[in-house]
Amino acid sequence: MTVRIGSLELKNPVMTASGTFGYGEEFAPYVDLNRLGAVVVKGLSLEPRAGNEPPRIMETAAGMLNAVGLENIGVRAFVTEKLPYLRQHDAAVIANIFGETIDEYSRIAEILNGAPGVDALEVNISCPNVKKGGIAFGADPRDAAEVTKRVKDVTDLPVIVKLTPNVTDIRAIAESVEQAGADALSLINTIRGMSVDIDKRIPHLKNITGGLSGPAIKPIALRMVWEVAGVASVPIIGVGGINTASDAIEFLIVGATAVQIGTANFVNPRATEEILEGIERYLRTRHIYDVNDVIGTLNVREEM
């Protein structure tokens, strides 16, 4: 089940999606963290962030909108309070980082570079719910490349760049980020959306718009992973609406080397482990001994 994300070797391709798994410990009563390929932690900023005013979430058809606004304890508190617990486990720790300026990305990356137990960085240039930073960097190929380069300059860790779907051509961003030195790409972040209370005629979210996640976005995420797989030579981590093992396998087939489980963790806190077991079963029943033999095997030429 071993897969490689740049220089990082994961014992299996199942990881958590940032912002849906806390700092890992929230899920310890439900999931054996040692079973997971990696835990991607809640996005970290240089200073603690309070996040957006509630209401922050709303269920929509086959998914949910959120506008949490990157509430987090800040990178320093993460290193002292959360990392010691996480690193005891046999799962890679991937720190998702977020800055309002390019300098902030660089400073957070520096702090984490010296932190024992962090195995890789995931650079969030795709959050739709914050006023500054986030999607502003992810929507422009040059800005996205600049953030990537500045982070790469200050860290020895593998750098994964998380892309937004809220662009005209995700391939252009992917290519630009790869050229800037990204070791891997993860996609997609949430899709901007909204929902309205027709009695009060107000948005369901205080932030008015939010990021859509859940099964509703899976076909879009899958299409984008397939598109990017056609142009990128670095590993791709597929994320977006994965709710079952067969969802995850679809992503592997279209070219993802690993997958992240996000909103499914809210529906079933045991989702990651159950999806991992489902992938293992899929391989076993088909006598496939290496998960890499499934990755990027989509057959579009032969008769279906």
Site string for another protein, 68-97 (x = CB under 8 A): x--x--------------------------
Strands (E), 98-232: 120-124, 159-162, 184-187, 191-194, 196-197, 202-203, 209-213
Residue 127 catalytic? yes
Nearer to another protein, 164 or 265 (CB): 265
Q: Return the residue of 1, 6, 11, 51 that touches another protein, per CB under 8 A.
A: 51
253 CB-near residues (< 8 Å, 6+ apart) = 294, 295, 296, 297, 298
Nearer to another protein, 134 or 215 (CB): 215
Q: Which of residues 4-23 bind another protein (CB under 8 A)?
A: 19-22
Site string for another protein, 243-282 (x = CB under 8 A): --------------------x-xxxxxx------------
Q: What is the 8-class DSSP label of residue 46?
A: S
Nearest approach, Cβ of 46 to another protein (angstroms)? 16
Nearest approach, Cβ of 91 to another protein (angstroms)? 15
97 CB-near residues (< 8 Å, 6+ apart) = 43, 44, 45, 75, 105, 108, 109, 112, 121, 122, 123, 124, 151
Tell me how far the alpha carbon of residue 283 is from its chain's centroid: 24
Q: Return the residue of 10, 36, 40, 56 that touches another protein, per CB under 8 A.
A: 56
Q: Are strands 258-261 and 236-239 parallel, antiparallel or unpaired?
A: parallel
Number of residues engaging another protein in binding (CB under 8 A):
35
Nearest approach, Cβ of 303 to another protein (angstroms)? 32
Nearest approach, Cβ of 57 to another protein (angstroms)? 3
Q: Tell whether residue 134 is a contact of another protein (CB under 8 A).
A: no
Q: How far apart are the first and last CA of the chain?
A: 28
123 CB-near residues (< 8 Å, 6+ apart) = 96, 97, 105, 109, 147, 148, 151, 159, 160, 161, 162, 182
Q: Report the distance separating Cα 202 and Cα 33, nearest Å.
A: 40
Nearest approach, Cβ of 208 to another protein (angstroms)? 16
Nearer to another protein, 126 or 148 (CB): 126
Q: Among the candidate windows 56-64, 95-103, 133-141, 147-155, which touches another protein by CB under 8 A? A: 56-64
Q: Which of 31, 70, 97, 127 is catalytic?
A: 127
Nearest approach, Cβ of 200 to another protein (angstroms)? 14
Length of the chain equals 304
Q: Tell whether residue 26 is a contact of another protein (CB under 8 A).
A: yes
> Do the Cβ atoms of 181 and 197 come closer than 8 Å?
no
Nearer to another protein, 43 or 255 (CB): 43
Q: Which of residues 208-227 bind another protein (CB under 8 A)?
A: 214-215
Q: Return the residue of 46, 58, 160, 191 that touches another protein, per CB under 8 A.
A: 58
> Do the Cβ atoms of 166 and 128 come closer than 8 Å?
yes
Amino acid at 155: T
Smallest CA-to-CA distance from 272 within 71, 5, 26, 4 is with 26
Binding residues (CB under 8 A) for another protein: these are 19-22, 26-27, 29-32, 42, 50-51, 53-59, 62-64, 66, 68, 71, 214-215, 263, 265-270
Catalytic amino acids? 127
